[in-house]
Amino acid sequence: MKLIVLGLSLGSSWGNGHATTFRALLKAFAARGHDVLFLEREVPWYAGAHRDLVDPDFCRLEYYPDLAALESWKDEIAAADAVIVGSYVPDGVAVGRFVQAHARTSAFYDIDTPVTLAKLERGDFEYLSPEIVPGYDVYLSFTGGPTLDRLERHYGSPAARALFCSVDADKYRPLDVPKKWDLTYLGTYSPDRQPTLDTLLVEVARRCPDKRFAVAGPQYPDDIDWPANVDRIEHLPPVDHADFYSASRMTLNVTRADMIAAGWSPSVRLFEAAACGTPILSDRWDGLDQLFEPGREIMLADTTEDAIAALREDAAAMGQAARANVLAAHTADHRAEELERHLNEAMNKKGERMTHTTRLNGKLTLVAGGAGFIGSHLCAALLAKGDHVVCLDNLQTARPSNLRELESHPNFEFVEADITGPLPASVADRAHRFGRVYNLACAASPPQYQADPEHTMLTCVVGTSHLLRLAEQAGARFLLTSTSEVYGDPEMHPQQEGYRGFVNCTGPRACYDEGKRAAEALTFDYGRMGRAEVRVARIFNTYGPHMNPDDGRVVSNLVCQALSGDPITIYGDGSQTRSFCYVSDMVAGLMALMESGGDGLQPVNLGNPNEMTVNELLGHVLALTGSTAAVEHRPLPIDDPRRRRPDIDRAKALLDWEPRVPLAEGLAATCAWFAEELGGAGGQPMVAAAE
């Protein structure tokens, strides 16, 4: 395969463990017949004399000066089979977004997982942010165990897999040198490791003056009182490591606090010491026993006494067993094989996802109006499908409680904003990441949209324009939810999409009807001009849970009034007709339309053709609730359409879609939901059994 890696460094091992890790892994990976390109950000501290690998023979190594320069690698990134971004890559979040937008399969390789997660938790997004985790097809981690679960469940990674460090078995092997020390430790000073080093080595040295010890590594403070039988080696170059281990009867493995907390985080030193056949005395952490068998391949110690007891044992066989284990499972060749397996798995899964879902290259789905009645159900369905959803809503008519169940979903984000204004930076700044834009943002109930008609008109026209521009910039597909109101008080029945409508452009409904007609015009213009791929749904009356009890529409009014025993308001004589579609059917229709083929340059009616009068609807509501509330007739609102019923032949043909939920079922679910919302409303009869 062709693999591109954007890692912290391959060219310089100066002050970082990444270069040696990448060198070993990619060399072994290339040896398996793969083509590797390493892209490294040019930074002054890894340049000049600090560059200790200039022209690797196992891969191409190229430098890019800054983020903007990555643009020139776009085609190569798009052509690669997989692209890996490593931890600590400068501007890692932006690099990650760029890679996710262009690569066929992307992976994050975290050589510092516990550090990364601690950073994410405190809001430090130096090289990774929670929002881009789901966009990586696989998260490869130096830490295994429950951390992988956390990455998948909490952060929404589609697949988190362990890819531990490994050992270079050519460099780390037993050497025939005399034993100089009984117990050694090789490692840079670290305050969190020092107490263990004190307990398991320094104090042991004090109590065993006849034995010899060594501590190799830089940065130990001058005030440490080393016993006389401890040799201090300030700098031990890697070429001398095998010699050091081979001269040790036993060596100590001390783990950093964050690695102990995470568990399942073997250090490279652990594998290197084992590869030299040196018996290892280790501190204790979860997962260690799954790598080395305690008592057979490794010894564990908590106290000075434990360490002294270990020194008394003849542990040579243990060293050999640990070495055999490392050679069988922890060399760079093993890691390269695992990497190949994980990438293949990600590529295959990605292939499946691309044919089954809209989520291309980890793209985001924007749902404007996502906190509203239909919008909240749409968000839930998109999340269930695996989309990463950004919900934008001004909460004008929506209820935040509609999002209660979605808020904790790792792939869900809520942004409070009004689309009549410029889109907020949290959306605009990552425009390129959106793959789908749904526009459901607008008050849709007659009393609500007439309450602030100017805002309604601007939401339809200016708001839609803002979202269309976003879709154009993103290269995203855009879906407008238009309305059956574009047909006005129709003279054609049922209404087909070809019917041009009978709208009163000067009446109180015009702000919505004409607003949506203008929004349609704008959307189709974008589509015709090739500025965005567009879809337009004309939504007919829809009902279900999450309707606002104060919404003012007929289903919510009648159900709430019936449940609470308030007078039931019927406008006019109740002989006007509507056709009511249950919300889950509507959401399925919207998603099917979004993903449908064709040029999208024709509107599609979505609704349930099951037409009934308002009086008939009332009959169903009364039967279901057992309510005996009185009916109060009110004047018919101006321009209230007399009849409405969708012709859904186009939706059937184009989307293979039609409503499935019968009124009795949908209404029962709706009544039950409102009954719960209203909290049992004053002892009035509650929902009777569904018909």
Residues at the contact surface with ligand UDP, assessed by CB under 6 A: 445-446, 541, 553-554, 557, 569-571, 576, 578, 614, 637, 640
Phi first, then psi, for residue 303 (nearest 5°) are -125, 165
CB of 384 to ligand UDP, least distance (A): 28
Q: Which is nearer to ligand UDP, 572 or 626 (CB)?
A: 572
Q: Which CB atom, from 161 or from 553, has the smaller least distance to ligand UDP?
A: 553
Least spacing, CB of residue 578 vs ligand UDP, in Å = 5
Residue 524 vs 571, nearer CB to ligand UDP = 571
Chain Cα centroid distance, residue 657: 29
SS3 state of residue 280 = strand
Query: What's the token pair of residue 598?
Result: 């064709």
> Where do runs of H (alpha helix) occur along 208-263?
241-246, 257-262
Question: What Cα–Cα distance (Å) separates residue 135 from each residue in 139, 245, 363, 372?
Answer: 10, 42, 7, 26
- Based on the residue annotation, tell me whether 512 is a catalytic residue of this protein: yes
Query: How far is the C-alpha of 593 from the C-alpha of 96, rounded, in Å?
Result: 30
Q: How far apart are CA 482 and CA 368, in angstroms?
A: 13
For residues 651 and 661, give the distance between their C-alpha atoms in angstroms, rounded to a whole number: 16
The span from the CA of 569 to the CA of 634, in Å, is 7
Q: For ligand UDP, give the closer residue by CB, 538 or 553.
A: 553
Q: To the nearest whole angstrom, how small is the minimum distance from the Cβ of residue 538 to ligand UDP?
A: 12
Closer CB to ligand UDP, 445 or 625, in the complex: 445
Question: Which residue, 527 or 545, has its beta carbon nearer to ligand UDP?
Answer: 545
Least Å distance between CB 469 and ligand UDP?
A: 29
Residue 59 near residue 34, CB atoms below 8 Å: no
CA angle 452-458-460, nearest 5°?
105
Helices 464-474, 510-528: inter-axial angle, 10-degree rounding: 20
Interacting residues of 117 by C-beta distance below 8 A, sequence separation 6+: 147, 150, 262
Compute the least distance from the CB of residue 611 to ligand UDP, in Å: 12
Which 8-state DSSP code applies to residue 646? Answer: B
CA atoms within 13 A on the CB side of 362: 29
d(CA 195, CA 192): 7
Q: Residue 255 carries which side chain, given as an amino acid letter?
A: T
Candidates 438, 512, 526, 543; catalytic one: 512
- Beta carbon nearer to ligand UDP, 561 or 584: 561
Catalytic annotation, residues:
512
